[in-house]
Amino acid sequence: MAIRIDIATLFCEMFESFLATSIVGRAIKRELVEVHLTNIRDFALDKYGSVDDSPFGGGPGMVLMCQPIFDAVEHIRSLARPRGKVVMLSPQGRKLDQALVAELAGEERLVGLAGH
């Protein structure tokens, strides 16, 4: 049985060549994994597709709005069973090492949230 991986991102096109040519691409062709991309911008609350906002309390930079992310993840999780383990992809998070890969490999479905 193939593991299903859903990725919510603002940059679906960034993943397309990687998914077609890498080791992951070969796994997809062999039907060992299914990968689905979802654009967070599709869940924006305004007609401009805005998904970022100023940080709470002021300061420089921008942050992603919570509602479009929440709506995107809930939509993704409703598409198939099991609902999947949600993984936030971030440089500040846990290092992706062999132990974590082994842990995630035991999941039937993963939902990756990529802000970039």
Instruction: State residue 72's pLDDT score.
Output: 97
Specify the pairing of strand 52-53 against strand 63-64.
Answer: antiparallel
| Angstrom distances, CA of residue 90 to CA of 22, 28, 93, 95 | 21, 24, 5, 9
Sorted by where each begins, the domain ranges of the chain are 3-114
Instruction: State residue 58's pLDDT score.
Output: 78
Which stretches in the chain have pLDDT values below 50?
none
pTM (predicted TM-score): 0.87
Closest CA to 84 of 43, 44, 113, 116: 113
Domain 3-114 - what CATH class?
alpha beta
